[in-house]
Amino acid sequence: MYFDLHCHSVSSDDSRATVEQYLKWIQVLRKRGYTVDGIVLTEHRKFDFDKDYSQLADDYGVIVLKGSELDTRFGHFLVYNVTQGLANDIDFADVRMDARELMKAAQHHGALAIPAHPGRFGIGLVEFMDKGETFEDVKIVERLNGGGRPGENERADELCDSMGYLGTGASDAHLASHVCTCMTNFGMDICNEEDLVAALLSGEFSPVRLEETSIT
Amino acid sequence: MTNENQTYFEDVELGDEIGPLEKVATDEGVVDFCTLWGNPIPNRFTSDEEAAKAKLPGPIVPGVMSMSLMAQLITDWAGPDGLKDLDVVFRQPVPHNKPLIITGTINDTRQEDGENVVQCDVLMTGTEGERYIIGTALVSLPSRS
């Protein structure tokens, strides 16, 4: 299954795409012969407990899951399978939180936190590791980011190769036509956020560019 | 009667691309813009010193000037009255004297209150993958009938 694990709807302050626009755009991609099964909305510094996209998901035949992208003092982290318990323990709006505490709290609550765009210049995890910081709980990073500048995904490649990390792929879309430019290919079925975490922990996935999903 | 230079609602489809339009905001062009705009010179858009005071790496292109360049992409395509709204996010400072590539992608078409509305993603990028500005434009197009 092909999932875009990182995109932002208008619920994030810097996005201009509604969820429905993403789903309409996925129909365009499907008409062009590409395969997309689902997306994960990872809104900045928040989790939308009150938002239900199940009707839209049914209407367009796309699995729509929810997550978060949190700012930490060691860069941005994507969090999957956010629970109320995790939100009670972690202040999602705290941009100076320690990513190591976030990862431990996520694990405690059945969620998973992974570094987003670790090769990003200035704010990616690589910058902090180069300064001597260590992150023993990191096993998976976002290796392929659709919003990366030249050189950033290459830095993530080097990180994965040198540390033995597994890598996901995602678009980091903030506009409708950018969704699913990069995705993660999973070897198992995913219907909800718990399945997603199980699939990530299984290690059976790989990052892909949209072009690699073509069925023609 | 139809005009062969006019883009009509019936002619557009989701996924159609608009542009690219390539522009360069020169030092002189920015000074001219600021003068016309009434922004006293020197300022952070025209002077290295003023830019440094604002902790910028150098003089930048004013946001409204960048938006006007992006608007040109749409008005060149849809006609001078076509642009209804342009909503942008500034992601990186826009530099002087470098190629600015402006593109659009149609992501929605609909009729609202009898009006033919087209929504486009719009993007201003650099030649080395820099994403300076992203946004959306709402465009009104005439019908052939």
B85 Cα to chain A: minimum distance (Å): 13
Would you state the pLDDT for residue B78?
Answer: 96
Q: Give me the mean pLDDT over the A185-194 stretch.
A: 97
Given a contact cutoff of 8 angstroms between Cβ atoms, the answer to whether A36 and A2 are in contact is yes
Nearest-CB residue to A177 (from B91, B121, B129): B121
Chain A positions touching chain B (beta carbons under 8 Å): 14-17, 21, 24-25, 27-28, 32, 147-150, 174-178
Q: Are B60 and B93 in contact (CB under 8 A)?
A: yes
Average pLDDT, chain A: 97
Average pLDDT for B71-93: 96
ipTM: 0.89
pLDDT at res. A161: 98
At residue B55 the predicted structure's pLDDT band, cuts being 50, 70 and 90, is very high
Q: What is the pTM of this model?
A: 0.94
Here the tokens at position A152 are: 């950033």
- The answer to whether residue B78 sits within a structural domain is yes
Q: What is the DSSP string of B66-135?
A: HHHHHHHHHHHHH-TT-EEEEEEEE-SPPBTTSEEEEEEEEEEEEEETTEEEEEEEEEEE-TTS-EEEEE
pLDDT at B4 over 80: no
Please state the CATH superfamily assignment of the domain spanning residues A2-213 in this structure: Metal-dependent hydrolases (3.20.20.140)
> CA A27, CA A60: separation in Å to the nearest integer?
8
**CB contact at 8 A, B89 and A14:** yes
| Residue B124 maps to a domain | yes
Interface test with B, best of A27, A30, A175 (most B CBs within 10 A): A175
- Please tell me the distance from the alpha carbon of residue B36 to that of residue B114, in angstroms, as a whole number: 38
The answer to whether residue B88 is domain-embedded is yes
A30-82 residue pLDDT tens: 999 999 999 999 999 999 999 999 999 999 999 999 999 999 999 999 999 99
- What is residue B5's predicted lDDT score, i.e. its pLDDT? 81
| Phi, psi (degrees; rounded to nearest 5) at A102 | -60, -45
Task: Determine the average pLDDT of the residues in B38-48.
Answer: 94
Asked whether residue B3 is domain-assigned, the answer is no
Which residue's structure tokens are 């670790």?
Answer: A118
**Mean pLDDT value across residues A97-102:** 98
Q: Measured between alpha carbons, how far is A72 from A88 in angstroms, rounded to an integer?
A: 17
Write the single-letter amino acid at A31.
K
* Residue B1 scores a pLDDT above 60: no
Cβ pair A149:B121 closer than 8 A: no
User: B129 and A174 in contact by Cβ < 8 A?
Assistant: no
Please report whether residue B47 resides in a domain: no
User: What's the CATH number where B89 sits?
Assistant: 3.10.129.10
Q: Looking at residues B23-29, what average pLDDT do you find?
A: 98
Whether the CB-CB separation of B13 and B92 falls below 8 Å is answered with: no
Total number of domains in chain B: 1
What integer pLDDT is reported at residue B129 of this predicted model?
87
Q: Is the pLDDT of residue B3 over 60?
A: yes
Please list every residue in chain B whose beta carbon sits closer than 8 Å to the beta carbon of residue A174. Answer: 89, 134
The stretch A117-132 carries a mean pLDDT of: 97
* C-alpha–C-alpha distance, residues A162 and B37, integer Å: 53
Residues from chain A contacting residue B118 (CB–CB below 8 Å): none
User: In which domain, by residue range, is B87 found?
Assistant: 9-25+61-140
> 3-class SS at B25?
coil
Residue of B nearest to A178 (CA): B121
How would residue B99 be classed by pLDDT, with cut points 50, 70 and 90? very high
